[in-house]
Every structure is written in C-alpha cells, then in structure tokens.
Amino acid sequence: MANKVKEPLIHITRRDAIPWYKSWGYRAGAVLLSMAVCALITVLTTGENPLSVFGTIFDASFSTQRRTWVVFQNLAMLLCVSLAVVPAFRMRFWNLGGEGQILAGALATTACMICLRDALPNGVMIPVSLLCSIAAGALWGFLPAFFKAKWGTNETLFTLMMNYIAIQLVSFFIIVWEMPKGAGQIGIINQSTEIGWLPAVAGQKYLLNIIIVSVLTVLMFIYMNYSKQGYEIAVVGESVRTARYVGIKVERVIIRTMVLSGALCGLAGFLLVSGTDHTLTTSLAGGRGFTAVMVAWLAKFNPIWMILTSFLLVFLDKGASDISTNFGLNRSFSDILTGVILFFIIGSEFFINYRISFRHSAKKEEEKHV
Amino acid sequence: MFDFFLTFIPRAIIQGTPLLYGSTGETLTEKSGNLNLGIPGIMYVGAISGVIGAFYYESSLPGPEAFNGALAVAITLGANLLGSLLMGLLYCFLTVTLRANQNVTGLAMTTFGVGFGNFFGGSLIKLSGNEMPYLALNRTSLAFRTPMPGASTTGWFGQLFLSYGFLAYLAVILSLVAAFVLKRTRVGLHLRAVGENPATADAAGINVNRYKYAATCIGSVIAGLGGLYYVMDYASGIWSNNAFGDRGWLAIALVIFTIWRPNRGILSAYLFGGLYILHMYIPTGTDLAVKELYKMAPYVVTIVVLIISSIRNNREKQPPASLGLSYFREER
Amino acid sequence: MNTSAAVEMRNISKRFGTKVQANDNVSLDIQRGEILALLGENGSGKTTLMNMLAGIYFPDSGTILVNGEPVVISSPRKAMELGIGMIHQHFKLVDVLSAAENIVLGLEGKLDLKEATRKIREICDAYGFDVDPNQKIYNMSVSQKQTVEIVKVLYRGADILILDEPTAVLTPQETDKLFAVLRNMRDDGKTIVIITHKLNEVEALSDKVAVLRAGRYIGTLITKKTNAAEMTNMMVGRAVSLDIDRPEPEKPELRMEIRDATVRDEEGLLKLDHVSFDIYGGEILGIAGISGAGQKELLESIYGLQRMEEGSILFHDPDTGETAELKGKKPLQIQQMGISLSFVPEDRLGMGLVGSMDIADNIMLRSYRNGSYGFLNRKDPKKMARWIVTELGVSTPGIDTPVRRLSGGNVQKILVGREIVQTPRVLMMAYPVRGLDINASYTIYQLMNLQKEKGVAVVFVGEDLDVLMELCDRILVLCGGKVSGIVDGRKADKQEIGMMMTRVGGEQDGQ
C-alpha cells in the first residue's frame, strides 16, 4: 500500500556531533557574514567606502599604543567576567547577575578606599579591598544559588533582579560619598594619595589588570578541565541523576560554583575601580555582565574562542565608536553592530546542532527516530 | 492627605503605565514558553520607531497650522507597531525556528535594541539641529496626551480617572483583554498548554510554533507601546538617550510579581510606579541618597515573591513549565 | 447494522531500523462490543501494533479495515475521526490545567467550559467514572489522571478504546474500579482493547485474548474456554537453548541479607513491599518480573539511591568477617565504609554515564576523588579505559571519543567495564543486555560468569526468561513489589516463572 502520509518538505534532525573544524567553520562563516552586514550598514549610514571604514575600525584599536592598551584592558575586563560566568554555565546555571556581582565588588572596593584611607597603608589597603570585593561578589552569587539549591528558585530571574539591587545600592552610596556635595558623583577617589590604587607595572597602568586576567584565564582553564571541582561541575551540569549516582552532593556544588562565579565578578569590580577607573559609577560594569553571558555561551566555554569572541566584540566596539566620532554619528552605533554580530553567531548554532534534509531523504531519518 | 493622593496617584499611574504595557506583553510571551529578555530592547525600539515616525511627520509639515493630531497619532503608532513587530519576529526566528538559546538571544536583542534607540535618537537630535541633547515632539505628544473629556470639569474624579492620554487607558484595556483571552478562550487555553507542556499540546493537534510566534510577536507589539507611552506621554514627547532607563527590566520583574496574571498587572504596575516615585513624597525628602534605596523596593519585592512562590511550590503560582526551553518534537 | 468486525488488521508488518522487527505479518480481528486482551511479554510488539491503529506509527505493509472499510490512519487525529482512541502509558496532560480544560484541549470552536463540564458529567454518569471536571491535574492521583485520559477519548466520540497496560500504575482497588467501568462501556457497545501481560487481568476482564510473541500473532482464544497454563504457553513459547555457560558456584558464601525492604515512590505508592532475600558471593542471582515490578527500586535502594522506609540490608565482608548495615546510607557513605558495590543502571546515558564526556572521563566518574590536591588524576582512568576498550572489544575511534557517539552495545561495555574495574563485592546489573546485539550480549554474559568465578555476588535483572534460566544459579521472581518466589535456575520451568511473574506465589495463590 502506498504511504499517503503527508511528509513535511523540510526535515530537521539533531546532529550527533560534527568535527571541530566544521563547527568552527560555521562560526567563522557567521562572523564573516555578520561583518559583511555590518559593513553594509556602516556604508549606508556613513556613505563612506567600505575599505576606509575598515581602516577606521582598525585604526581605532591599533593606530596608537595608547589605543592598543585600552583595547587590551577592555578585552581583559570582558574576558574576566566571561571567565567568571563559565563555571556557572557549565553547570547549566544561568548567571545573568554578572552586572550586579561586578558592582557589588566595585562597591566594596570603593568603600574600603574611602572609609579606610586614613587607617591603612597602601600595602594593606589593596589586599583588604581585594578580599572585600571578592566577598561582596561572592555574596551576590551565593544568594540566588542558595535558593536554587534549596527550593529550585528560578535563577535566571533571581540573578537578573540582583543586578538592580546592586545598581540602587551603588546609587545610594554615590550620593553618600559624592564629592563635592551635590555633584551626584564620587569623582576620582584618593586622587592625591593614590591609596588603594593598583600600581602601574612597567609604567603601564593597564598592564597589571591584563596580567591578572591572563593568569586567571589559565587558572580557570585548569580549574574547569583538571580539577575535581571542575569535573563535578561538568557532571552536575550534564546530568543531576548521574551526579547523585556517583555520590556528588549536588546542592553543595551549585552553591560553591556560584560563590566562585560571583567572587570572580567581584574581582572584576575590584580591578575596574582599583586598577583603572578609580571611581564608582552605576554604569561601571558597562553591560559586561550581559555581554559576558553571550561570550561564554557562544564560545561554548572554550577559552581560546572566548578570547577571540571578546576581542572581536571589543575591537568592533572601539572601531564603531571611532566611526561614530569621525562621521558625527552617535556612540551607540557600536551596540547595533554588536547586536548584529551576535545575532549571526547565535543563528549559526542551529546549523551546528541540526541537520536539515529535504523530502527525498527524509524517510530514512524518520525511521531512526521512531 | 487627600490632596497628597490626588497628586501621588496620577503620577504613579503615569509612571506605572509603561511597566504595565511591558509586563502584559512579556506575560503573553512567557505564556508561550518564551522568556524574552529582549523586552527592554524592544521597548526602546518601539519608542524610537514612534519617535522617528512623529519626527518625519512633524518635519514634513509646511507650517504648524497644517498639523493634524489624528494623523500624527496614526503615523506614530504605525511606526511604533512596525518596529516592535520586527523585533518580535527576529526573536521568534532565532529562538523558535532556529531554536537558539532564549536568554542569549534576548540579551543580544536588548543590546541591539537599546543601541538602536540611542543611535537613531542621537541622529535625530542632530538632524533637528537642537543644541540640547534631546528631541522635542511637542505637538505629537500633545495629541497623545489629550485627556478624556471632562477631566478638568469633574474635580477630583477627573483628576484621578480622566486626566490621562488614551494610551494609558489602552494599557488597562489590553491587560484586561489579555487576561480574558488567557482565561476564557480556546486560544488562551491552547497558549497556556503550549507554554506548560508543548509536547502534550503538539499531541493534541495544536501548532506549537505558530502559537509561540503569535504570542511573542503580539507581546512585543504591546511592550513596544509601553516605550511609546513613555516618550509621548510621560516624557511629553521629549526623547533623550537612555532616559527610558531600566524600565524594561522592571517590566520583567513585574511579570514575576503578578505571578503571570495580566489582570493583576494593572494595580501592581501602579504600585511599582508608586514605589518608583515614592521617594519624592517621603518626609525625609532632603536626603537624596535614601530615594535610591526606595527605588530598590520593586526589585526586592520581586525577589521575595520569587522565593516565596518557589518555597510554597504552589503549582498555580509558578512560571510556565517550559519557560526558556525551545521545543523540538523529535527530542523525546 | 454492520456485521463486520470493528477493526480488522491484515498482514501488518513494522520494522524499526534494520534490526528490530516489531511486528511480523500480524492479522488480528477486533469484534464490536467486546473486550479483547492483547497478551504478550515485554517487547512482543503489542504496543507497536496498537500504535498503528492509533495513528502514531504507520505500518510498513498490510491493511487496516475499520467497520469493513479499508482506511489509512495517518495521524492520531485521523484515528480519532475513525472513532479510535488510545490511552497511553505516559499520560499526555497539562498539569496546571483542570480536567475539563485538558479534555477539550486541541478541539476547535468556542470555548464553553460549562457545556464541556456538563458533557463530561454525562459521560461520567453513563459509565460510572469518578472525576471532577474542575479539579487540576496536579492534584490528581495516577488513577484519576488515567480516568481523565479515558474521558478525553470518549468526549471525542471514540467507540474503539485501546488501553496500554492501564493497570501498571494502579492499586488493586483502583484496578477493580477501572474494570467495572470498562465492562459498563462494553455493555454500552464500545469496543475495548487492553494491552497487558498479566494473566489474572485477562481472566478477570476480557472476552477474548489475542497472544503476540516476538512480534508475531500466535492466536486468539475465548477467555472462558482457556486457562492460565495454555495462555502462558502461548505467551512465552518453548524454552530455547542458548548455550550460555553456567559454571557451578564454588563455595557460595552469604554476602548480603535483605530483610523486609519497603520502598515508596514520590507519590507514596508502594514499590517494594517487605522484600526479603539473600545474596551469595560466587553466584548469579537473577531477578525476573514484568516491567515495573520493583526491580529498579530494589537495586537503587541497595545501592543507596532510594530511601528505604523499612527493613534492613546487612553486608557481610568476606575479608574482615564484619557485618555492616547499609540501610539509610548514601552511595558515597557506603563507598567510604570500604564496601565496593557496583551498579549498572538501566538508564545508561541518563544515570550511569555522562554522554558528552569521553570514555576516560566516564571511567573516572567512580574514581575521580582519588586525585591529589584537588586535581584529577587522569592517568589511571586512561589506563583503565584502554584496558576496557581492548579487553571488552569496544569499537571506538579512541578513548577520547564522547560516549554519546558510540553504539548502544559499546556504551554498555564501557559502563559494565567501569563497574567491574571497581573490583566489586556485589555487582548489580539492570537490564544489561537491553538493546544489545547477540555478540555484545554474550560478552556481558561472559563477564558476569567471570565475576561469579571470582567470588563476586552478581545480581542480574533481566527480561528474557530463557537467558535468566540459562545463566542464573537462582532466580528471584518479583510481582507487584513483592517476592513471588525464588527458584533454582537449573531446575526452573519457564511456565512456572511466567506464572509467578503475574501472581504472587504462582498458580496456587491465584484468585
């Protein structure tokens, strides 16, 4: 008897796995495509020829040494937050609270720098504020993790809300500490004494941050791949049942991992205040908590891919903001380009995870799945 | 005391209306199982699209006397709807058709949307030749802000209930309609089934993807209206970059606060609106710092609601069960 | 009145992939107004056959006639149009909706819950269902949910109802109630097919019984004119000789004493009811039973994954001669007591292994705590992985291949291999050869025998009675969470075991 079942024209099945070079090929293709679209948008809005646009973008990051340092500083900060959210994601825990955890850490550092400036010498101040910021970030990570482990409270929404609590806390303290009164901002803290400022290494004020984050990248890579805790995180993320079967205390792993994640965001806050900005604003985190989520997710926790993705985003961000100054556009231009690139990378995941086959070959596939 | 309420309540309502739009839209979206974290971006895009429409209408006029309020409203609304609809479609294409991760997609949309809003906002400000960093669309805004008839003649009643532009009433109507559709109609029943258990809905012959697309796009359009209300009514037609602030996230918080019920959203939105401006009415008023702590209240309250509902584990008060997951029939 | 049968299935065949012939040229008639029991062992093709009536699967070949007319059943919706409704083992209900809302889900037209409620009440009154249309599903017991599923099918106007092992989830009282309702429906002219492997249910309920074995149709009997022995015969067939080695146990010694093990599931249903037996080192203890008779709970509670409400598990250490109580201990605690239990769970990739990790990392699951200073030691697991791959003949590109990409047999070899490398005192295996081809299966049998010869106590939960009888020294038969009996594997009779699987204590205890 003829099979009269109407088959869909396109049949989509999940792929087993594709070799790494293919999946990277898809991603690279997506990036190239997105660059083309970005170029098109830029050309349309500026009327400039594409080559000079790319020239501007490149110059923005590499035309002067100072610019290159800034790019690497920004890259380091984004990477630091991305590294921080990696363990949580590996565990399938959506830490969207990076923004708040950074601010919590930054707030703690600022508090130390302002309240203890007369009490502590610089050599003690820096470790103290480092510890405080790590503790503050860890606390911001602990709260949602505790409720998730105990009652399964939705962590996506919880961490999201924690961001705004941190922002309002920071707003509160900015007014408490504002300098001068009524300015609505703190200004550069300890400008004359430089107490609590991270020292410049080899004359470069960003170098220490970059070194710290580089070390952190290596440590995180080791932690995730070669430590028992990293292994436990991977098992819990993959299958809670398997974790219980081998005797892993799932609740403890959830809390421990989120404390770590928050602590590293807190560290990023410390680096931002103590290392570069020397002040506290509500936009200090600059959306890095969210961008990091996308970087970590899209890079599938692969550190090299994370560095590349972060670099791409920072590079374009700088480039786009230069284009906007050069052509009298506005700085938000870079957010549009970032968005476009992200959409393409997000979309490319589909072609990595799924196979699309057309009607004639669909039947065989179906058999497999029944 | 009465006077206090007479000034406080209308302000809370005006402050709460964008949130109400956002939360109604997001509730519909989440009912289909899509956690759209792009809502803040969509509200920005909705707002700027409306502003673009209004700007071009106003600047195409030969003179002020040619201004037609109804036409201005129509053009602005049309541009607004189109902008938010396209954002909704983009989100659906990525998460439903391409099954991309919803959180990542939503965050990318927010980055994009806020950037889009500020970019075009900035460009328009430059085009308008304004020295100040804002764009004023007074005439269109006045058309949006026309109060109900009798607002000024009915005393306190008019002040409390009739003094708003039509979009404020539309927000209430839309949330009531959304509540009705979800609770009483077949479409609503099917939508709830899709968000709770797409496999079961699929087995019952419901087209899961179509429902997800429809709910998310309609939700985006409604949320986009919130952005429009903010510029045209609350801000009196003045666009300045980033002024919309974190209201989009507050709208998402509101969805949790209302436990996914649009009809509860009305009073809750006004409550959030009230909390947002409460600091202005606090006797300690001189301390500016404290007002920032008051602004924290909506988020704290939302977390408390989230925690309590998970501890009590009441099945009626949980997020839709498949929230955040993409559906693929052959996965099971 | 149409005199033809309600459903006629002619020469129906269905294959899955290249290996599994689920149905082979089955022809079956279902008469109007009767209750037909479709009887067969696990995997005999009963559900597949009925799924083709319900529009879930489409037959590879053969014809289906409904009321004498040839039909094409391409989807569940089409089946419903023909008046065929199936109640699956896994309910398709939305938890937060009410019964009435679930019942009308997917239908067209205006939503009128009042009218729907009225109609549901009517159906309930007509057949004696006890269901509150306004009650939410999450508040319902399993049997209430099942009732909602049945009413849902009737609401859509079905007059041919197929129930897939409806009693598997019910208490005896609930079963009686269901049967009463089904009889009412039959008396009303509905046609009912009940898929089962329980003989007492066949006898209690059905008018006729059709038997399937290994995907083939064996025959149809009138229930009143047959008996349990005849049905069992048809269901299990003659014992086949498989030529599996069975060395004589050497000096079996008492390893574990399980007494009055009682376990309830999350919904409070009794899954194990005062189960008592002994496990000996140097022998293979088989556990037989229909699916869901408590096998999973038994192994998991011994291993420490399920909480035992009552009872005790005593472990006798052959080296020290000491005895330890394992009840209430978690897997890790048992391990830390120095007691090595190995457990090959039924759900290999969902519980035993991590699909996305490579072979070596999966081997490490059991031993990752051995590394020093918080770091993993991958050297030993890699060595073990290589040993397992060569020793058990795992075909894989390398030990760094994610296990998800391996075939079922190779996945199982890795899991079993890992559990054996732990040098266990007790090795428990749940359905270790399910889905494996014949060669892989024999590898697993050999491994079990090797462990037995080393003095390990092997517990083997199986579904193929022929294998159990050829391999095991003793066979414990479970039935509905109770011990139905323990038989000697060398003297056991297949019919006898089949009987014990469906009735506690076998024939003499039957109702």
String of DSSP letters for C364-419: HTTTGGGSSTTB---HHHHHHHHHHHHHTT---S-TTSBGGGS-HHHHHHHHHHHH
Q: According to the model, what pLDDT value does residue A167 have?
A: 92
Spell out the residues 6+ positions from residue C382 whose beta carbon is closer than 8 angstroms to its own: C360, C363, C399
Spell out the residues 6+ positions from residue C179 whose beta carbon is closer than 8 angstroms to its own: C201, C204, C205
Chain B residue at shortest CA distance from A317: B115
Q: According to the model, what pLDDT value does residue A6 have?
A: 46
CA-wise closest residue to C44 among C241, C196, C169, C170? C196
Same domain, residue pair C465 and C378:
no
Is the separation of the CB atoms in A315 and A61 below 8 Å? yes
Rounded Cα distance between A291 and A278, Å, is 23
| Domain finish residue from C422, C443, C473 | C422
CA-wise closest residue to C42 among C87, C89, C9? C89
Residue C36 bridge partners (DSSP): C193, C208
Does position C508 have pLDDT exceeding 60, yes or no?
no
Position C2 in a domain: no
Tokens of C25: 């040229």
Same domain, residue pair C61 and C178:
yes
Same domain, residue pair C320 and C406:
no
Rounded Cα distance between C165 and C167, Å, is 6
Same domain, residue pair C355 and C428:
no
Chain B residue at shortest CA distance from C93: B200
Position C448 in a domain: yes
Position C92 in a domain: yes
Contact C365 A229 (CB under 8 A): no
Q: Which H or E run includes C479? A: strand C474-479
Q: Which H or E run includes B178? A: helix B166-184
Rounded Cα distance between C82 and C71, Å, is 9
Is the separation of the CB atoms in C105 and B206 below 8 Å? yes
- Within 10 angstroms of residue A185's Cβ, the number of other Cβ atoms is 15
How large is the average pLDDT for residues A145-167? 91
Tokens 């896994």, located at residue:
C90
Q: Does C76 touch chain A (CB under 8 A)?
A: no
Residues C92/C94/C99/C100 CA torsion (nearest 10 deg): -100
Rounded Cα distance between A230 and A128, Å, is 28
Burial of C511 (0-12, 13-18, 19+ CB in 10 A): exposed
Segment B217-248, tens digit of pLDDT: 999 999 999 999 999 988 888 888 888 888 89
- Structure confidence at residue C509 as a pLDDT band (50, 70, 90): very low
CA-wise closest residue to A156 among A243, A98, A233? A98
Segment A301-341, tens digit of pLDDT: 788 888 988 998 888 888 888 877 777 777 788 888 888 98
Rounded Cα distance between B281 and C235, Å, is 82
Rounded Cα distance between A333 and B123, Å, is 10
Rounded Cα distance between B38 and B23, Å, is 13
Segment C398-413, tens digit of pLDDT: 888 888 888 778 888 8
Same domain, residue pair C140 and C26:
yes
Contact C76 B193 (CB under 8 A): no
Q: How many domains does chain C have?
A: 3
Burial of B275 (0-12, 13-18, 19+ CB in 10 A): buried
Chain C residue at shortest CA distance from B199: C92
State how far Cα C211 lies from the chain centre.
Answer: 18
Residue A41 bridge partners (DSSP): none
Give pTM, 2 decimals.
0.85
Tokens 């900060």, located at residue:
A77
Position C1 in a domain: no
Position C378 in a domain: yes
Tokens 């803290």, located at residue:
A189
Same domain, residue pair C219 and C173:
yes
Q: Does B321 touch chain A (CB under 8 A)?
A: no
Helix then strand then coil, in percent of chain A rounded to 5, is: 70, 5, 25
| Backbone conformation region of residue C492, classed left if phi is above 0, alpha if psi is from -120 to 50, else beta | beta
Same domain, residue pair C149 and C58:
yes
CB burial of A124-161 (b: ≥16 within 10 Å; e: otherwise) equals: ebbebbbebbbbbbbbbbbbbbbbbbeeebbbbbbbbb
Position C79 in a domain: yes
Between strands C253-264 and C270-281, the pairing is antiparallel
Q: According to the model, what pLDDT value does residue C511 have?
A: 36
Same domain, residue pair C173 and C209:
yes
How large is the average pLDDT for residues B54-60? 89
Q: Which of C96, C136, C145 to mutate to test the interface with B (most CBs of B within 10 A)?
A: C96
Q: What are the distances in angstroms from CA A202 to CA A130, A190, A207, A211?
A: 21, 22, 8, 12
Domain span holding position C72: 7-236
Rounded (10°) angle between helices A333-353 and B102-128: 150
Position C315 in a domain: yes
Ordered by where they begin, the domains of chain B are 10-331 (1.10.3470)
Looking at every residue in chain B, the average pLDDT score rounds to 88
Q: According to the model, what pLDDT value does residue A361 have?
A: 45
Q: According to the model, what pLDDT value does residue C256 have?
A: 93
- Structure confidence at residue C19 as a pLDDT band (50, 70, 90): low
| Backbone conformation region of residue C357, classed left if phi is above 0, alpha if psi is from -120 to 50, else beta | beta
Q: Does C134 touch chain A (CB under 8 A)?
A: no
Rounded (10°) angle between helices A288-298 and A65-90: 70
Rounded Cα distance between C36 and C48, Å, is 16
Chain A residue at shortest CA distance from C330: A247
Same domain, residue pair C390 and C504:
no
Segment C108-128, tens digit of pLDDT: 888 888 999 999 999 999 888
- Residue-by-residue DSSP string for C9-29: EEEEEEEETTTEEEEEEEEEE
**Chain C closest CA to B238's CA: distance in Å?**
45
Q: pLDDT > 90: what percent of chain B?
A: 45
CA-wise closest residue to A358 among A2, A6, A12, A5? A12
Contact A231 C355 (CB under 8 A): no
Contact A349 B290 (CB under 8 A): no
Q: Does C113 touch chain A (CB under 8 A)?
A: no
More confident residue, B159 or A135: A135
Burial of B155 (0-12, 13-18, 19+ CB in 10 A): exposed
**Chain A closest CA to B298's CA: distance in Å?**
9
Residues of B in contact with C101 (CB under 8 A): 189
Between strands C426-430 and C341-344, the pairing is parallel
Q: Which of residues 273-312 of A touch B (CB under 8 A)?
A: 287, 290-291, 293-294, 297-298
- Structure confidence at residue A182 as a pLDDT band (50, 70, 90): confident
Taken in order A131, A133, A134, A140, is the CA torsion positive or negative? Answer: positive
Which segment of A17-21, B150-154, B159-163 scores lowest on mean pLDDT?
A17-21
* 3 state DSSP class of C212: strand
Contact B196 C97 (CB under 8 A): yes
- Structure confidence at residue A266 as a pLDDT band (50, 70, 90): very high
Using CB atoms, list chains with 3+ pairs below 8 Å to chain C: A, B
Same domain, residue pair C232 and C280:
no
Q: pLDDT > 70: what percent of chain C?
A: 96
Tokens of A103: 């601010």
- Structure confidence at residue B135 as a pLDDT band (50, 70, 90): confident
Looking at every residue in chain C, the average pLDDT score rounds to 87
Q: What is the arrangement of strands in the sheet containing C35-39, beginning at the earlier edge strand?
A: C84-87, C160-164, C191-196, C35-39, C208-213, C216-222
Same domain, residue pair C262 and C358:
no
Q: pLDDT > 70: what percent of chain A?
A: 93
Residue type, C310: E
Segment A6-64, tens digit of pLDDT: 445 666 777 766 777 888 888 889 888 988 888 888 888 777 777 777 788 788 888 88
Using CB atoms, list chains with 3+ pairs below 8 Å to chain B: A, C
Q: According to the model, what pLDDT value does residue A325 have?
A: 79
Same domain, residue pair C289 and C199:
no
**Chain C closest CA to A1's CA: distance in Å?**
7
Contact B330 A162 (CB under 8 A): no
CATH number of the domain that residue C229 is part of? 3.40.50.300
Rounded Cα distance between B157 and B179, Å, is 27
Nearest 5°: phi and psi at C272? -130, 135
Q: According to the model, what pLDDT value does residue B330 have?
A: 57
